Amino acid sequence: MPSILPAGKAAPEFRLNVTPDQKLSLSELRGKPVILAFYPADWSPVCGDQMALYNEVLSEFQKHGAELIGISVDGVWCHEAFAKDRRLHFPLAADFEPKGAVAKAYGAYRPGEGVSERALFVIDRNGTIVWSYLSPVAINPGADGILQALENLAK
Amino acid sequence: MSALSIPVSAEDHIQGNPTAECTLVEYGDYQCPFCGQAYPIVKKLQKRLGKRLSFVFRNFPLTQLHPWAEPAAEVAEFAAANGKFWQMHDLLFENQAHFSNALFVELSEDLDLLPSQLQTAVSEGTYRPRVRADFSGGVRSGVNGTPTFFINGHRHDGSFDLDSLSEAIDQILSQRTHAKR
């Protein structure tokens, strides 16, 4: 079990493809709270799917001005097909090459399986992690912890 | 994480003995096939446990995956306002593969509800705030997909098959029985 980066640490910078021809850097989002949701793989079972849940909760995240980014080691074309199928309205970043490098930087990589953990990070406007949570890989962590962290930020 | 943040109250749709030792709360989506699978399982649990179990259903429509989930939830709430929530809840799950506006009208007629009132309620979104409130409360409680069950306020992370739910409920009931002694 790796130990994920805790609150108080600076969120490691990354620059990853979110579409086949578009990259997104974490630093571009400075000034807004950012939610990073690492998850093992696209195409997990439909109704219990973590990304599908966050898609529904997006408006509540946006009330806090927060940006959500899903991250897995899947490639851009896989992400694109998955996002289209599930009608996702937020970016999925491809931690694909070198594989899992961003997950490793956040302490959220599973070397045995070659995928990332189910790990959540809420990052404040200045790029500091204010909350992180590592979920058992088989359990979708829901959105309550994220919302609580965003509310605490607003205080 | 994973505890029911909105306690069961008179605002809820409660089936069975409201003072039962065990309360099963489901956050569900009428168009979700897994909730459809859970529907007869809950019936079996209710039959087996009788007065020891109360059952609460709250709305958690995954609208991006299931385009009929939100309208169906509002149809159920419309029926609830006319005292027929559980009849509609059952009819919706029994017909979940065939949702359409025409079906909703038909189901309302089956329950002697006025289709014109249904149409007004759906088009004006009369019951939308109720459905949204259920959804938001569910998110705050750690609902992570559908169906999500809470047994006496604790999220059930195991499978929702009959054995798994029975076992989790029996454990609560036996603790209660021991506590009384």
Q: Which CATH number fits domain B13-180: 3.40.30.10, 3.40.50.300, 1.10.260.40, 3.20.20.70?
A: 3.40.30.10
Domains, in order of start, for chain A: 15-154 (3.40.30.10)
Residue B181: band (very low, low, confident or very high) from pLDDT cuts 50, 70, 90:
low
In chain B, what is the straight-line distance between the N-terminal and C-terminal CA atoms, in Å? Answer: 31
Q: What is the pLDDT of residues B2-44, one digit of tens each?
A: 789 999 999 999 999 989 999 999 999 999 999 999 999 999 9
Report, as an integer, the average pLDDT of A83-96.
96
DSSP A86-137: TT--S-EEE-BTTBTHHHHHTT-EETTTTEE-EEEEEE-TTSBEEEEEEE-T
Residue ranges of the domains in chain B?
13-180
Q: What is the pLDDT of residues B62-106, one digit of tens each?
A: 999 999 999 999 999 999 999 999 999 999 999 999 999 999 999
Check if A78 is active-site.
no
Contact between chains at B29 and A60 (C-beta distance less than 8 A): no
Kindly state whether B43 is in contact with chain A, defined as any CB-CB distance less than 8 angstroms. Answer: no
Kindly state whether B154 is in contact with chain A, defined as any CB-CB distance less than 8 angstroms. Answer: no
Measured in angstroms, the CA of A98 and the nearest CA of chain B are apart by 31
- Which residues in chain A have Cβ-Cβ distances shorter than 8 Å to B156? none
pLDDT at B178: 75
Two tokens, residue B134: 């259920």
Measured in angstroms, the CA of A141 and the nearest CA of chain B are apart by 7
Phi, psi of A119, deg, nearest 5: -130, 140
Kindly state whether B37 is in contact with chain A, defined as any CB-CB distance less than 8 angstroms. Answer: no
CA proximity to B91, closest of B102, B70, B106, B74: B106
Contact between chains at A47 and B33 (C-beta distance less than 8 A): yes
SS3 of A123-137: the string is: ECCCCEEEEEEEECC
pLDDT at B175: 85
Size of interface A-B (CB pairs under 8 A): 67
What was the ipTM of the complex prediction? 0.86
CB contact residues (below 8 A), chain B span 115-134, against chain A: none
